[in-house]
């Protein structure tokens, strides 16, 4: 029986959020007290020498530790983006 342990280092951008408050002079003209535009994202990128989809995935789809030698059996982390605006009247 062959057991492989991969010691790996890397970097991951798990979450990033950016927002911008619109200038008061612009929004007061349309009777808005406060307005904000925002964008956020999760699982944006991973830089690593790991051969599988995701170094944090753990056990693959089978749930069996013996099958863990093939790290490509799990699902990769999905990227997620959110864009929005908020207003106060």
- How many CB atoms lie under 10 A from the CB of residue 43? 15
- Please give the order of strands across the beta sheet that includes 34-48: 10-21, 34-48, 80-88
The angle at the Cα of 65, spanning 74 to 70, to the nearest 5 degrees, equals: 45
| pTM score of the predicted model | 0.65
Q: What percentage of the chain has pLDDT greater than the value 90?
A: 42
Q: What is the arithmetic mean of pLDDT over 25-34?
A: 92
Q: What is the arithmetic mean of pLDDT over 42-63?
A: 68
Q: What percentage of the chain has pLDDT greater than the value 70?
A: 63
The rounded distance, in Å, linking the Cα atoms of 82 and 11 is 22
Tens digits of residue pLDDT in 58-78: 544 445 555 555 555 567 778
Check if the beta carbon of residue 24 is closer than 8 Å to that of residue 51: no
């Amino acid at each position: 029986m062959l057991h492989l342990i991969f010691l790996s280092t890397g970097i991951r951008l798990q979450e990033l959020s950016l927002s911008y408050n619109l200038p008061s002079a612009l929004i007061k003209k349309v009777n808005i007290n406060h307005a904000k535009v925002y964008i956020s994202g999760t699982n944006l990128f991973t830089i690593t020498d790991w051969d599988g989809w995701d170094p944090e995935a753990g056990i693959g789809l089978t749930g069996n530790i013996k099958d863990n030698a093939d790290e490509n059996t799990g699902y990769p982390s999905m990227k997620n983006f959110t864009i929005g605006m908020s207003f106060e009247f």
